[in-house]
Structure 1
Amino acid sequence: MISRFFGTGRRRSFGGASGDVFYGVSAVFALWVVYANIYALPDALLVGILFVSGIYTLLFLAVGGSNDALDRPSLLDWGLAASSAACGIYFFMIRESLATHITLLYPLSDGQLFFGALLMFLTLEATRRTTGLGLTAVVLIFMAYNLWGHIIPPPLGHGYIDFSSFIDTLMYTTDGVFGVPIQVAASYVFLFVLFGSLLSKAGGADFMFQLAAALTGRSPGGPAKIAIISSGMYGMISGSPTSDVATTGSVTIPIMKRLGYSARFAGAVEVAASTGGAAMPPVMGSAAFILAEYTGIDYRSVVLAALIPAILYYLGIYIQVHLRALRRGLRGVTETDPILETLKSGWVFIVPLIVITAALLVGYTPTFVAVFGTLSLLASSMLRRQTRMGPLALMRAIGETTVRMLPVAGACAAAGLVIGGLTMTGLSMKASGLVSLVAEAGDLPLLLLGALITIILGLGMPTPSAYILAAVLVGPAFAAAELAVLPANMFLLYFALLSALTPPIAVAAFAAAAIADEDAMKIAVTAVKLAATGFVLPFVFVWNPAFLAMSSLPMIAIAAAGGCVAVIILAHVLEAEMRGVLRLPALLVAIAVVSPYPMVSVPLICIAAGLGIWWWRSGTLLFLGPVKSPGERA
């Protein structure tokens, strides 16, 4: 009974006439969100309330109350959906009083208190149905602290907060449920998810897979390399490691298994590749938009900063896969289309990516970047019969955007409850003060603690929520230690992403386990090894901000070259049978080449590059022991 209550609900699949109606209503809602963003409706609080109420109305119909719920909405589901709609109608009717309401100065009316409490309850239930126990439990703990924390002795206790003030702060301001997370979800994130839905419906996901196959499919370990490239391209649009695994992994994992990879390694490759997609420019995932909004840093700067780390992350996975394929004699796929033929048939999907990149570089806001990308996609897809979408397909794709946003909206609204509670009680500053005590021992212990806290917060939790909570709890301590804002927040973003593959609750690994027919924890452990570069990179770019393009062009170029050398060394240490006596010196060289001191890094980069060219031309692998027979499985 407990597991049924705290587990995620069943995603319903609507078909026939009911499906047309549901997706039609979802499409109308999506178009309203687009309208609200393009015309920049002035009342952010009212827009947030209407967005949440509309999302919840559809959510309670699309997601059942338990994993074994019926495939059609129950009477309770209809009641919750009607309650959500009623909240939206009520708040719209009192919009004028909302605009003049001063929090904690004007008392709430009975109606405002009732509908505020009702919408808060609906947020908790929406969070439980879409994300499960993890985030729901965190929210309930913080709510309990807000209401009864006054009985806790100092320094963690706080003053008495009555229920009316509690509802007033969380539900009638932009500091609670309708704060930065929901504002971002209702704008940038929604528009880019719309772009991704249309791209997928037009056949963009298939093109990405075919392009990856044309580039790397025939090389040793080709299926795994296809998974890396296609998952990275799809992941930057979806922004969700779990959905990326489910989408691309359903194709790549069976192919890898069929051509010689173990189920464990096949699943791990897909998990590691899918997890990094949300950090890959130019789109990135929803957490990156929240980072830009939360820190006040221009999104274009965030995208440019993310480029080198993202490339290095995938380079690390790629080299490990390549080394394993060479050592184990794993072949590529035998039949792939020529790359020129692939590009000829799928160029329509490259055009919108070019438009998005150009719009970012010119300096348009993320809202208009997404709009331009979507319009260019619709225009280019009409030029080929194979990619052209009819009215029904277009409606379905637009409606699918709203469906994809259901769990994101629930998680962001729940995170707003936590943030509002932290602000109300001052707990964020108290927690930050405790973390800051560690800073007295130096930046490295502080960063290690910040990484640990972020990973723990992210266990079983969506990436945006994990980043938001980490930014609120750990961010002030990083600021007190005088760490630069962008590196510090990118540090937290990376570990929030990596929590999706970190045991013991590696949600992306569980998605891969169902496809690979393998134990999820075994997949997660191997995925952590493949993603080792991602665990190291955040420490590197805090130490050397040139990795985030925060320096002169020569220093950025040196950092990129040093990063490539370090990643190659790390991959050999992890995957190749390197002689034990060489491991420690190799790691020391890897640390030196990424240092912010050119007098140290440049000579070692040149020496390493020379040795690499010599080993490559001699036809041997760097530091490798004996190569195993082709028949041995990975």
Structure 2
Amino acid sequence: MSVDAASAAGTGPVIAQGVDDEPMAPNQRDARARTGVLIAVLCAAYTLFHLFVMVIYPLETWTYRMMHVCGGLIIGFLTYSALTQRSNDADAAPARRGMAELALLGVAALGVGYGLAVIAYAWGAWWLAGVAAPPAFGFRTYGLPLAIGTAAAVIAGWLYSSRDRSRIYPGDLILCMASIAVLGYILFVVGALRMRAGTGMAQPGDLWAAVTGVILILELTRRLTGLALVIIVGVFIGYSFLGPWLPGFLNHRGYTATRFFTYIFTDQGVLGDPIAVSSTYIILFIVFAAFLQASKVGDYFVNFAFACAGQTRGGPAKVAVFASGLMGMINGTSAGNVVSTGSLTIPLMKKVGYPAKTSAAIEATASSGGQILPPIMGAGAFIMAEVTGIPYTDIVIAAIIPALLYFVSVYFMVDLQALKLNMKGLPRSELPRFNDLIKQVYLFLPIIILIYTLFAGYSVIRAGAMGMAAAAMVSWLTPHKMGPRQIFKALDMGAKMSIQMVAVCAAAGIIVGVIALTGVGARFSSLLLSIADQNQYLAMFFAMCISIILGMGMPTTAAYAVAAAVVAPGLIALGVPVLVAHFFVFYYAVMSAITPPVALAAYAGAALSGSDPMKTSVEAFRLGLAAFIVPFMFFGSHELLMQGEWIDIIHATATALLGMFLLSAGVIGYYFGHASMLVRLILIGAALSMIAVGWLTDVVGLSVAAALFVWQRRIVTPATLSHGRAD
């Protein structure tokens, strides 16, 4: 609905329109005409396949996960180019191909074509003649040409891929065929492969299918997330072969290529926990988010936040905290949420007086916090439930207080900075009218139904399906009714939005497989134990640093999956409860998105605000400082994870909230007036005292806070401020 239409309908000015629409990536294609329709149908079919298997007709585990990965690879190569796209001219004649490009494409087509033909022959013989064992020669010889052809297609894409968004490069079609060949081989031998993968009985065909699969996964990951995760995976793969020559706890005996790659393509690696969650919970809730987008509920969320907080001091920043946290919880990616909601909130923050770097940092900090906000937690809760075996509802309940502390801290920082800089909010005339929006509060029903069904004992899958149905039904009470066309669009969007998660989870599975195969996780646990002999908090600090480093440049899902495999077992060996250990590494994996020097969410915000990326990441780190302290808080006081008696939980929460306020005041430099550097340092000390749960430390913190309040109110007056003596 346009602004004029909204005003005519009596809803007041509309600020948010299409804020949750997925922005087009620089290398994303925009296929038109029949090609675009074909891809959309393929995407909708991919989504429906998952819903059908999850809700109606379950498949064998390996089969389902392989089809999940293969479908993601095909859609990914059709929709994302190897190079940045510049134009969208479908009528322009394609450039003439040189001899080198034709040679590469020829090698790719011949190699992949031969491999696919052998697999197709094997399946045809089985279906038509009942021949369960294909000719041995075919399965002995198909693999090497397939791997060479796949590598040639990847290289051709790097060098010669079209810059036209409307065209699909032939090399990418060959990569789609290679994906089908890998799927066909693994499904044909899946029964035997489950027994022999990773052992001396593994066959050459198993090796080449796995090698080709790894190449395809890494190339799609590069296209979707950049080089950071690909380099990290490459380091882990190299570690598997270089182990005999490495010192200390990194040393291991090494592995042959056949044993390593066939082991990687099992449920201990690529088909392990990350893909298990990606193929069920993650894709389910991404499709749920797509239904919310198609019904324009996301716009309502943001407009509702503006109606509530837009007029207050620093209003757009507070809206960013609320709206970005809510949207980040659903869409599961910090940087993606920054780009979508930040395109609205960042310009408005700059309009009311926030510096460019602060505007971007607030958006990045709030969007990253969405990943720790229950009940969805950006899919992190589902992975944690899968890895730990702890019920999903227990994880959601445990996440409530830490998420509250984080967002309250960010809100305090935003509010105190607005006070310090004497900022105003947006004029009420430019904001949606709350009285009108409250009449549409039923648009929150999909979220409410989702939460109710989860805690009423329904399975996560059934709850997600009911949430999707609720989103479609609620849309009929709005101008954006979801008919067949809109439902098809939601299914199409759901598949395209899930592709990044498929690639990321598959790549993370490679890392998890390396850790399981080499045993480096157990040796890391021993290292943590030896550090803990000196000081347990030092061991926890070391675990924090490793979790952040492992997560740098990686999406949240992959960052947590890797940290859970490397760091969490070491913390559990120290005697830390399983829930606390996994929450500890999860928080730092999430916060790697705003931790310099590689802070993806902050960099995305900087691109929108025009600020310096490194300065923005430092500012985001400062604003999100609470997230770096909260894990140590619930490590020392399990009451903050809802563990213990209610009186203790209330006490721990109240003192932690006061500690967050003191910490925010110290960081921003405003405590009932401008605070000097000495006052700021004392405030941070008092905050740390309040954070360490205990009556003695609480009394110390409260006493210092009260003394500083009296001091500030006595010396900071309008007269002294006007002479500049208070700062």
- The answer to whether structure 1 residue 254 and structure 2 residue 347 are counterparts is yes
- The answer to whether structure 1 residue 120 and structure 2 residue 137 are counterparts is no
Aligned to 1:75: 170
1:421-465 deviation digits (Å, cap 9, x = unpaired): 121122221233223322122221111111111111111111122
**In structure 2, distance between residues paired with 1:341 and 1:132:** 44
Residue 448 of structure 2 aligns with an amino acid whose one-letter code is I
Q: Secondary structure at the match of 1:282?
A: coil
Q: 1:174 to 1:217 in 2, by over 3 A?
A: same
> CA contact under 8 A between 1:9 and 1:129: conserved in structure 2?
no
Deviation at 1:511, TM superposition (A): 1.1
Task: Choose the corresponding residue for 1:159, options 236, 244, 253.
Answer: 253
- The answer to whether structure 1 residue 193 and structure 2 residue 286 are counterparts is yes
1:97-120 deviation digits (Å, cap 9, x = unpaired): 456x34456733443333222112
Q: 1:295 to 1:234 in 2, by over 3 A?
A: same
**In structure 1, distance between residues paired with 2:280 and 2:714:** 48
Aligned to 2:186: 91
Task: Choose the corresponding residue for 1:516, options 609, 613, 622.
Answer: 609
- The answer to whether structure 1 residue 592 and structure 2 residue 689 are counterparts is yes
Task: Choose the corresponding residue for 1:545, options 638, 641, 644.
Answer: 638
- The answer to whether structure 1 residue 21 and structure 2 residue 114 are counterparts is no
Task: Choose the corresponding residue for 1:139, options 233, 240, 247.
Answer: 233
- The answer to whether structure 1 residue 349 and structure 2 residue 429 are counterparts is no
Q: 1:625 to 1:18 in 2, by over 3 A?
A: farther
Deviation at 1:359, TM superposition (A): 1.7
Q: Aligned runs of 1:263-274 on 2, under 5 Å? A: 263-274=356-367
User: Mean alpha-carbon deviation: is it higher for 357-366 or for 555-564?
Assistant: 357-366
1:244-268 deviation digits (Å, cap 9, x = unpaired): 1111000011111122221111111
Q: 1:11 to 1:81 in 2, by over 3 A?
A: same
Q: Secondary structure at the match of 2:413?
A: helix
CA RMSD of aligned residues (A): 2.6
**In structure 2, distance between residues paired with 1:588 and 1:135:** 38
TM-score, with length taken from structure 1:
0.91
Q: 1:364 to 1:381 in 2, by over 3 A?
A: same
Residue 354 of structure 1 aligns with an amino acid whose one-letter code is I
Task: Choose the corresponding residue for 1:579, options 652, 676, 700.
Answer: 676
Aligned to 2:145: none
Task: Choose the corresponding residue for 2:433, options 338, 359, 377.
Answer: 338
Deviation at 1:628, TM superposition (A): 7.1
Aligned to 1:65: 82
Aligned to 1:226: 319
Task: Choose the corresponding residue for 1:54, options 53, 71, 96.
Answer: 71
> CA contact under 8 A between 1:327 and 1:628: conserved in structure 2?
no
> CA contact under 8 A between 1:9 and 1:63: conserved in structure 2?
no
User: Mean alpha-carbon deviation: is it higher for 583-592 or for 426-435?
Assistant: 583-592
Q: Aligned runs of 1:92-491 on 2, under 5 Å? A: 92-98=187-193, 101-104=195-198, 107-152=201-246, 156-171=250-265, 173-334=266-427, 335-345=430-440, 347-382=441-476, 384-491=477-584
Deviation at 1:12, TM superposition (A): 1.9
Deviation at 1:414, TM superposition (A): 1.0
Count of residue pairs the alignment pairs up = 613
Aligned to 2:16: none
**In structure 1, distance between residues paired with 2:577 and 2:268:** 25
**In structure 2, distance between residues paired with 1:432 and 1:66:** 41
Q: 1:436 to 1:526 in 2, by over 3 A?
A: same
> CA contact under 8 A between 2:306 and 2:316: conserved in structure 1?
yes
Q: Give 5+ residue unaligned stretches, structure 1.
A: 1-7, 630-634
1:310-347 deviation digits (Å, cap 9, x = unpaired): 111111111111112122221111132332321213x3
> CA contact under 8 A between 2:236 and 2:511: conserved in structure 1?
yes
User: Mean alpha-carbon deviation: is it higher for 369-378 or for 247-256?
Assistant: 369-378
Q: 1:380 to 1:624 in 2, by over 3 A?
A: farther
Q: 1:590 to 1:25 in 2, by over 3 A?
A: same
**In structure 2, distance between residues paired with 1:549 and 1:625:** 43
> CA contact under 8 A between 2:233 and 2:510: conserved in structure 1?
yes
Q: 1:75 to 1:338 in 2, by over 3 A?
A: same
Deviation at 1:610, TM superposition (A): 8.6
Q: Secondary structure at the match of 1:281?
A: coil
User: Mean alpha-carbon deviation: is it higher for 214-223 or for 85-94?
Assistant: 85-94
Q: Secondary structure at the match of 2:250?
A: coil
Identity %: 30
**In structure 2, distance between residues paired with 1:558 and 1:25:** 54
> CA contact under 8 A between 2:39 and 2:78: conserved in structure 1?
no
Aligned to 2:136: none
> CA contact under 8 A between 1:278 and 1:284: conserved in structure 2?
yes
User: Which protein, 1 or 2, shows the higher relative CO under an 8 Å CA cutoff with sep ≥ 6?
Assistant: 1
> CA contact under 8 A between 1:217 and 1:332: conserved in structure 2?
yes
> CA contact under 8 A between 2:199 and 2:259: conserved in structure 1?
no
**In structure 1, distance between residues paired with 2:248 and 2:403:** 44
Q: Secondary structure at the match of 2:202?
A: coil
Q: 1:542 to 1:216 in 2, by over 3 A?
A: same
User: Mean alpha-carbon deviation: is it higher for 490-499 or for 318-327?
Assistant: 318-327
> CA contact under 8 A between 1:561 and 1:605: conserved in structure 2?
no
Q: 1:250 to 1:105 in 2, by over 3 A?
A: closer
> CA contact under 8 A between 1:151 and 1:157: conserved in structure 2?
yes
- The answer to whether structure 1 residue 568 and structure 2 residue 661 are counterparts is yes
Residue 157 of structure 1 aligns with an amino acid whose one-letter code is N
**In structure 2, distance between residues paired with 1:535 and 1:248:** 24
Q: Secondary structure at the match of 2:692?
A: coil
TM-score, with length taken from structure 2:
0.80
User: Mean alpha-carbon deviation: is it higher for 102-111 or for 390-399?
Assistant: 102-111
**In structure 2, distance between residues paired with 1:281 and 1:186:** 21
Q: Secondary structure at the match of 1:499?
A: helix
Aligned to 1:11: 28
Deviation at 1:204, TM superposition (A): 1.6
Q: Secondary structure at the match of 1:285?
A: helix
Q: Give 5+ residue unaligned stretches, structure 2.
A: 1-24, 86-160, 723-727
